Structure 1
């Protein structure tokens, strides 16, 4: 396990590839469990496991371009810089809010939001997941800002057009 946590991904292309592969693998595993006729609670637990394990591993091994690669991250630090943590926190908070709104509308019987019980449990699971991610990212942004962690300013040369 220690060897896996020593691995680092710095380039954004490989981060996107990691996320895509983890998402597809999680979907395949959850679908295989679903096809066995497992109870809904087992499917939900497998889905949560295949979401949180790759996520937890990603925040440990992803590194920002100017972030030190060697030392392990603090347990609360989700990204390299507070700005990205804040933006992702807002994105997940908006997603959780939309999910919560959909759940409330489904429960009060809004015609456009009528859903089956299993679809509602999936929506609840996704909403709780997004809310948890929002809390983690916002906490990370707040703590980094309080500690004065900021992205270093890189001076780029002025591009000159020659005709």
Structure 2
């Protein structure tokens, strides 16, 4: 496991590839389990794990432009720079809010327009909790990075930038 955590992904193209492959693999696993009739609570748990484990690995191995590659990140550091952490935190707040709306719709038994069925409560709650947790982690990272004075190199004054 230590060797995996020593690996670093710096280029954005490989980060996107990592996320896409992780999402596709998770989707295939969850879809296969659902199609063979595995109980919904098990599928929901596997769905959470196939999302959480690649994410946890990604925040350890991804590095930003100008971020030191060698040392391990602090446990709270989710991205390289506060701006990205803040933007992703806000994105996940919005996703969690939509999830909360979906939970309310699922609990009311109302069919969503165009779907003709009520969404499942378990998976919807799971996704909403995941999104809310990610929002909290990203926003915490943004605040702590800002407090630590960590800024993206191209946001520093020209006289301070590293050559």
Query: How far is 1:21 from its partner?
Result: 0.2
Equivalent residue number for residue 147 of structure 2: 146
Unaligned runs of 5+ in 1: 156-163
Unaligned runs of 5+ in 2: 159-163
Query: How far is 1:25 from its partner?
Result: 0.2
Rg (Cα) greater in structure: 1
TM-score between both structures, scaled by the size of structure 1: 0.87
Equivalent residue number for residue 9 of structure 1: 9
Query: How far is 1:126 from its partner?
Result: 1.1
Equivalent residue number for residue 18 of structure 1: 18
Query: How far is 1:111 from its partner?
Result: 5.1
Query: How far is 1:124 from its partner?
Result: 1.5
Q: How many residues align?
A: 154
Matched ranges for 1:12-91 at <5 A: 12-91=12-91
RMSD: 1.7
Moved more, 26-35 or 7-16: 26-35
Runs (4+) of structure 1 exceeding 2 A deviation are: 105-117
Moved more, 32-41 or 66-75: 32-41
Alpha-carbon distance in 1 for matches of 2:117, 2:124: 10
Q: Is the alpha carbon distance of 1:112 and 1:25 closer, same or farther for their aligned partners in structure 2, counting shifts above 3 Å?
A: closer
Is the 1:82–1:140 Cα contact (8 Å) retained in structure 2? yes
